[in-house]
């Protein structure tokens, strides 16, 4: 059965484990489902590509929550896009 979730904020605890200014941000998600999220920003001629990679402890864990993760990441990327646009309009 597909995941059905209302858009909402979930409490999280994470810590930054690697930062390369304006290039790479790596975050370890500590509460709930454990994973490491790596966000890499790749400048392009007319913008920036965002490479979003999540590494889970094992394949079985990922498979159990894969559909929820896809849905949650869609929300996260929408929120990121909103913030980018807000920053552009403020400049």
pLDDT at 8: 66
Tell me, what's the pLDDT at 5?
Answer: 54
**CA atoms within 13 A of residue 41's CA, in its CB half-sphere:** 12
Q: Could you tell me if residue 41 is inside a domain?
A: yes
Report whether 77 contacts 52 (CB < 8 A): yes
Claim: this prediction has a pTM higher than 0.85: no
Domain that holds residue 19: 14-90
For residue range 74-87, what is the model confidence (pLDDT) as tens digits?
988 898 889 888 88
Asked if the structure places residue 39 within a domain, the reply is yes
User: Does residue 82 form part of some domain?
Assistant: yes
Position 7 confidence tier, pLDDT thresholds 50, 70, 90: low
């Amino acid at each position: 059965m597909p995941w059905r979730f209302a858009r909402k904020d979930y409490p999280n605890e994470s810590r930054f484990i690697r930062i390369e200014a304006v290039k790479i941000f790596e975050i370890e998600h500590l509460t709930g489902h454990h994973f490491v999220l790596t966000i890499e920003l790749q400048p392009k001629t007319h913008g920036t590509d965002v490479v979003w990679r999540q590494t889970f402890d094992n394949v079985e864990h990922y498979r159990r929550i894969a559909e929820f993760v896809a849905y949650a990441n869609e929300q996260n990327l929408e929120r990121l896009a909103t913030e980018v646009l807000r920053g552009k309009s403020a400049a």
